[in-house]
């Protein structure tokens, strides 16, 4: 099968950073689906792993944790899926990724993709939808319903990126919270407003006065998706007593004084969507289930894809370009590659 891989950690501008290769076709284990990959999206985790981890034995590492495709074969123990099913998933960090024509994925992590989305638009959602859902409903333990948390405020730092773009939609559609998101450029502000966010503030300016101008003196919850080390003190300042802070990035530990949370009895929550698959938790199937729920919401017109641009077919040159764009930290929504040359 065709795939894109690397053997050494290199700059995304280096032609050897990601290379077109051929690998043997994989065979499904008892609990696996073998999926023919039709479209992939690129996330910051792809670039982090490429820069950080390289195989020591000269083998190939294949990245990629956002895919839409069609089931080619099912493992002996799999129920609920059959060849020909059109699916989406994010997969697992400790298995070969979706930058390949065929991929093995644990069936518990997979759901049928929305029938009303093109494959490119579907590929943009799985990893970020899982991350956003787990942030809101597993880490922050929010209730769902039009009156849930009515009048309370959720602050989303970095709202126009991949995770933020679906998280603000989930929060607006499934809870009664007031959502305030941050953005610094006109195009990212416009994107958030297009997604339904009424209140957008600039994360390059002090948070408190901007919130006060909106009539908000404190927020009950904050989700920090980027540059948490730069915003940590401000987040502590604007969080209400007994509030909650959730984050997904990798801030400098020296910049995060967790003792600052004590005076207000603030709670701190980390989210990594790969935890369930890394530790083979008893609730691994929750990821497939939540993707099925997201598909229902998309089909009902309550959620939209966060696809921003299709960069072309799935090959090394286009994938290197996507990595460069992600590393610029200026992307809005999601970047997708679709089809094989």
pLDDT at 322: 97
By DSSP bridging, strand 153-157 and strand 102-106 are: unpaired
Given a cut of 90, whether residue 329 has pLDDT beyond it is no
pLDDT tens for each residue of 79-113: 999 999 999 999 999 999 999 999 999 999 999 99
Q: What are phi and psi of 41, to 5 degrees?
A: -115, 160
The residues facing 245 across adjacent strands are: 222, 268
pLDDT at 312: 98
As to burial, measured by CB atoms within 10 angstroms (0-12 exposed, 13-18 middle, 19+ buried), residue 69 is buried
pLDDT at 76: 97
Distance CA 165, CA 322 (A): 18
- Here the tokens at position 76 are 């002996």
As to burial, measured by CB atoms within 10 angstroms (0-12 exposed, 13-18 middle, 19+ buried), residue 224 is buried
Which sequence spans correspond to the domains of the chain?
2-125+292-338, 129-270
Distance CA 329, CA 325 (A): 7
- Here the tokens at position 312 are 């072309």
pLDDT at 187: 95
Under the banding of pLDDT at 50, 70 and 90, the label for residue 28 is: very high
For the chain, percent of residues with pLDDT exceeding 90: 96
The residues facing 180 across adjacent strands are: 155, 199
pLDDT at 57: 85
Given a cut of 90, whether residue 116 has pLDDT beyond it is yes
The residues facing 69 across adjacent strands are: 37, 87
pLDDT at 255: 85
Determine the CATH number of domain 2-125+292-338. Answer: 3.90.180.10
Distance CA 74, CA 96 (A): 17
pLDDT tens for each residue of 212-244: 999 999 999 999 999 999 999 999 999 999 999
271 neighbors 130 (Cβ within 8 angstroms): no
pLDDT at 11: 94
pLDDT at 74: 98
pLDDT at 306: 97
Q: Which fold has domain 129-270?
A: Rossmann fold (3.40.50)
Torsion angle defined by CA atoms of residues 31, 36, 41 and 43, in that order, rounded to the nearest 10 degrees: 40
Whole-structure pTM value: 0.96
Q: Where does 147-300 show beta strands of DSSP type E?
A: 153-157, 178-182, 199-201, 219-224, 239-247, 267-270
- Here the tokens at position 292 are 């099925």
Q: What are phi and psi of 69, to 5 degrees?
A: -165, -160
Q: Where does 248-331 show beta strands of DSSP type E?
A: 267-270, 307-310
Q: What angle do CA 55, 57, 62 make, to 5 degrees?
A: 35
pLDDT tens for each residue of 234-290: 999 999 999 999 999 999 988 899 999 999 999 999 999 999 999 999 999 999 999
Given a cut of 90, whether residue 58 has pLDDT beyond it is no
Map residue 287 onto helix, strand or coil. Answer: helix
pLDDT tens for each residue of 45-57: 999 999 998 888 8
pLDDT at 284: 97
Distance CA 319, CA 317 (A): 5
By DSSP bridging, strand 153-157 and strand 86-89 are: unpaired
pLDDT, averaged across the chain: 97
């Amino acid at each position: 099968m065709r795939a894109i891989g690397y053997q050494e950690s290199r700059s995304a501008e280096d032609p050897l950073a990601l290379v077109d290769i051929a690998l043997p076709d994989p065979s499904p284990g008892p609990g696996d689906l073998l999926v023919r990959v039709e479209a992939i999206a690129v996330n910051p985790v792809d670039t982090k792993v490429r820069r950080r981890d390289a195989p020591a034995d000269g083998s190939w590492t294949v990245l990629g944790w956002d895919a839409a495709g069609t089931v080619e074969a099912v493992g002996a123990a799999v129920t609920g899926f059959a060849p020909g099913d059109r699916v989406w998933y994010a997969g697992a960090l400790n298995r070969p990724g979706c930058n390949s024509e065929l991929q093995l994925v644990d069936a518990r992590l997979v759901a049928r993709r929305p029938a009303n989305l093109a494959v490119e638009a579907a590929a943009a959602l799985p990893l970020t939808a899982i991350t956003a859902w787990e942030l809101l409903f597993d880490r922050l333990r929010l209730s769902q319903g039009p009156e849930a948390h009515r009048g309370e405020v959720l602050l989303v730092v970095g709202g126009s990126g991949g995770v933020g773009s679906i998280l603000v939609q989930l929060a607006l559609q499934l809870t009664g919270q007031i959502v305030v998101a941050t953005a610094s450029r006109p195009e990212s502000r416009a994107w958030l407003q297009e997604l339904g966010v009424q209140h957008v503030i600039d994360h390059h300016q002090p948070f408190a006065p901007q919130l006060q101008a909106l009539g908000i003196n404190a927020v009950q919850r904050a989700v920090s998706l980027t540059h948490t080390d730069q915003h940590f003190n401000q987040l502590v300042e604007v969080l209400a007593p007994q509030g909650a802070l959730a984050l997904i990035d990798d801030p400098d530990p020296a910049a995060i004084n967790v003792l600052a949370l004590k005076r207000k009895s603030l709670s701190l929550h980390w989210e990594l969507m790969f935890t369930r698959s890394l530790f083979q938790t008893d609730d691994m199937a929750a990821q497939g289930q939540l993707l099925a729920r997201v598909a229902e919401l998309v089909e009902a017109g309550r959620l939209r894809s966060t696809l921003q641009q299709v960069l072309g077919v799935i090959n090394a040159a286009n994938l290197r370009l996507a990595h460069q764009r992600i590393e610029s930290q200026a992307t809005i929504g999601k970047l997708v590659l679709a089809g094989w040359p």
